[in-house]
Amino acid sequence: MTLQVTVLAGGLSYERDVSLRSGRRVADALHRAGIDATLRDADAGLLAALAETTPDAVYIALHGAVGEDGALRGVLDAARVPYVGPSAAASRLAWDKPVAKTVLRSVGVDTPDWLTLPHDTFRELGAGAVLERVVKHLGLPLMVKPANGGSGLGATPVFDAADLPAAMMSCFAYGGTALVERFVAGVDVAVTVLDTGDGLRALPPVEIEPIDGVYDYTARYTAGTTRWHAPARLTDAVRDQVTETALRAHAALGLRDLSRVDTIVSATGAVHVLEVNVSPGMTETSLVPLAVSAAELDLGVVCRALVERAAARG
pLDDT digits (tens, 9 = 90+) for 213-236: 667 666 676 767 889 999 999 999
| CATH classification code of 4-84 | 3.40.50.20
List C-alpha distances in Å: 154 to 99, 174, 296.
19, 6, 34
- Contact (CB, 8 A) for 110 and 252: no
Cβ–Cβ < 8 Å for 156, 144: yes
Total-model pTM: 0.94
Q: pLDDT tens, 163-209?
A: 999 999 999 998 899 999 999 999 999 999 999 988 999 999 999 99
Q: What is the mean pLDDT of residues 26-31?
A: 98
CATH superfamily of 93-110+185-296: ATP-grasp fold, B domain (3.30.470.20)
pLDDT value for 217: 65
Domain boundaries, given as residue ranges, for the chain: 4-84, 93-110+185-296, 114-182
pLDDT of amino acid 221: 66
The fold adopted by the segment(s) 114-182 is Dna Ligase; domain 1 (3.30.1490)
Which residue, 142, 8, 5, is CA-closest to 64? 8
Taking only the tens place, the pLDDT of each residue in 98-148 is 999 999 999 999 999 999 999 998 888 898 999 999 999 999 999 999 998
